[in-house]
Amino acid sequence: MLVSDNPALLERALAALPGLDVSVIGTAAYTGPAENFSADLTVFDSVTPLEWPVGGSLVIDPPASGSSLLAVGERRDVADPADAPLRVQGNLADGLSLGGIDFGTVRTITPPEWATVHVSRGEQPLVLSGRSGQSAVAVWAFDLQESNLSNRLAFPLLLARSVRELVPAPPPGSVLTGEQLELTPSLRADAVELAGPDGSVNRLPLGDTQRVPFVAMVPGVYRVTEFAGATPLYETQLPVNAGTARESALRPQPLPSTIVVGVQGDSEAITAQRSVWPWLAALALVLVVLEWLYVHRGSTRTASTKATS
C-alpha cells in the first residue's frame, strides 16, 4: 500500500517490482494500521504514521512533526562538501553508485535505538532501517522530488533492496530431503502450519526471531500456511525431492559434452606412433606389389607353356 498525495513516481517504481500489487491511498484517508491489516508493506510518502503497522514500512521524506515514532527535525542542505563524505555501510546500499547523487535538502533525523544507518553524508543519516516490535521499518530522509536519485540506476536497485528487507522472501521452488531450510514468515503472522504429504499437520507458533526451521525427511509436496490468529495470510506449496534437482528434472536434457583429456606422460608415445605408421603403410604397399608380381608372373608362365605345346 502506498500512502501519498503525489504517488506517480513511487507507484510506477513499486509496480515494476515482481510480486507486488500496489494500491494507493491519500495521506488524509489513511486512518491507521488496523484498517490496513492486510498490507504486507506500507510506503509512507511525506507522512509518518502515529504507530507502525504490523509488517513492513518504508518512510520517505518524513515530516518534522506529527508522530513520536521518529525524531525528525527541519530540512538541512547536504551538498557534497569535502568535510562531509558519503558513507555506506551494510548490505542495503553496498555496491550502489551513490557518489554523484544530489540528495537536496534532507530531514535531520536522530536514529532510534532499533535502527541502523546504511547511508549518511557526514553525520547526517540518509537511509536507515531496523526492527521495531512486529514492524520492519526503513527510512529515506530525503525528498525524491528534490533529489536526482530517481533518474539514476541506483533508485530502482535501492528500492528493490529496501522492499526485500521489509517483506520476507517466499520459500524456494524446491528442496531436497534432509536439507535444512529456514522459513521466514510475514511479520504479521503468529503461527505457521506445515501439512506434509503423509497427511500430518504441524502448527508452529512464532517467537521473536520470526524464523521456522524446516527439515523434511519424507519426499513429496508440503503445504505452508501462515496465520494471524485464525486468519490465513499466505499459503504456498514446497516440493521436497528425494534426489538431486537434476535427477528430478523431467524435461529432456542435452547430452553431456565429450571432453578428451590427454595425459602428458603419453605425449612421447603418441609422437612415436605418428612417426612409425607411414613406414608400416609403405611396407604393406610393397608386400601387395610383390604379391601382384608373383601372381602375374605365374600366369605368364602358364600361358607360355600352352603356346609351346
Place of cell 504517488: 7
Query: Which grid coordinates are listed for 240?
Result: 521436497
Task: Examine residue 255 and state whether it is found in any structural domain, yes or no.
Answer: no
Same-domain pairing of 156 and 109: yes
15 and 128: one domain? Answer: yes
Q: What is the pTM of this model?
A: 0.65
Specify whether 129 is located in the same domain as 208: no
29 compared with 38, residue with greater pLDDT: 29
* pLDDT exceeds 60 at position 101: yes
Average pLDDT score, the chain? 79
Residue ending a domain, choose from 166, 187, 204? 166
Distance CA 17, CA 47 (A): 23
In a domain, 272, yes or no: no
With 80 as the cut, is the pLDDT of residue 309 above it? no
Query: How many separate domains does the chain show?
Result: 2
137 and 227 in a common domain: no
One domain, residues 91 and 154: yes
State the pLDDT at residue 43.
93
Per the domain annotation, does 236 fall within a domain?
yes
* Higher per-residue pLDDT: 47 or 182: 47
| Angle (nearest 5°) at CA 137 between 131 and 140 | 135
31 is a domain residue: yes
Give the model's pLDDT for residue 228: 74
Q: Examine the domain organization and report whether 159 and 186 are in the same domain.
A: no
CB 117 within 8 A of CB 130: no
**Structural domain boundaries enclosing 206:** 175-248
Same domain (yes/no): 6, 142: yes
What is the CATH number for 228? 2.60.40.1930
